[in-house]
A and B are shown apart, each in its own frame.
Chain A
């Protein structure tokens, strides 16, 4: 296992000295997880493998734009994998939002790093929280993240009224917000 701090150290080692051993450790930890994540969304194994490898190459290229005071390594990896999935699985269409632009969400010009909810190990808190969500909430959140489906499509698939799906999403996000705000105060 890699702790959040170890993962951040490894990304910084790539940024400062192009450390291939650090890259290998990140690859061994994250590439299988990215692949499993993409497969869960319904992609075939080969496409998922490609997304995982391309995502890790992006980690190498963009290591210097990682800022551990803004985002945990896992969150940063997630955003890269998300964008690679869009780039590769919708490859006929130009992506609307550049990967670089999307990453900029996590490195804005304003220096308010101390306010970032992602600083440090927040994601471990989020991880605990995940197990606290009701199965009803979790299924909607998982479908959104894994299966690349909008809440409208999720409502159709689960044969639920749109309002029910919206309220599950809002309840889940409310819990997320409460938990993180408790951490910050």
Chain B
């Protein structure tokens, strides 16, 4: 069990399929790493199944036979696929990446140093307005103190970090309104890697913030 689970209402949004792509990926990574969250999502799937089963059998009316005929005709071109191999969990160079992240990793994707302080890989999820990043912090290093106008979702993938709200390890999930200033510091040991999904542009609150914020809001840093 993680010490910092995702809130249940967010797991419901995830199970029902209503989250935008960025937060959906953050929750998927948490679920992949946290057996308890996985169990909750399974239960919610059963709840979805029960709601489906309650629906009327007459949903297609008199068109049912025709719909079945059309669908049967299409099966000629659709093979029954063999039982799949277990999902590939590791990706060269990204051995910390849980399975749901792997499809988003591309060959040649590499860490980019930002403001001399931390490394970032920006993920592109088309059609989503969130900023989705993998961040890597060396032990003892911190992110610049910042706040943001929308929600921020964080899931730890390697190592850990500590901020004013506590200590976060692999699989832990944090969500909150970004209006709270915070300054996470990576724990001792291997570098901390986390996925951060931010709803709106980040606002730096440190002494350099005034100069750097225009660049942040334009997505340059």
Contact = CB atoms under 8 A, between A and B. Distances in A.
Nearest to A116: B42
Q: What is the size category of the interface that chain A forms with chain B?
A: 35 or more
A104 B87 contact: yes
Secondary structure class of chain A's binding surface, majority of residues:
helix
Contacts of B46: 71-72, 75, 117-118, 122-123, 126, 180
Given A123-B53, A144-B16, A165-B9, A61 B84 contact: no
B81 A33 contact: no
Nearest to A168: B9
A15 B80 contact: yes
A146 B45 contact: no
Contacts of A61: 78-81
B48 A78 contact: yes
A35 B46 CA distance: 18
A143 to B, nearest CB: 9
Nearest to A67: B83
B51 A97 contact: no
A153 B19 CA distance: 11
A70 to B, nearest CB: 8
B13 A151 contact: yes
A36 B60 CA distance: 8
Of B16, B21, B28, B63, chain A has the most CB atoms within 10 Å of the CB of B16
Interface stretch (B121-129, B137-145, B165-173, B213-221): B121-129
Interface string A1-43: 0000000000000110010100110011111111111011000
Contact of B103 (A23, A101, A169): A101
Of B51, B58, B75, B127, chain A has the most CB atoms within 10 Å of the CB of B51
A14 B71 CA distance: 15
11 contacts: A20-B72, A37-B51, A63-B80, A74-B50, A92-B127, A95-B21, A97-B100, A105-B41, A146-B51, A148-B18, A173-B8
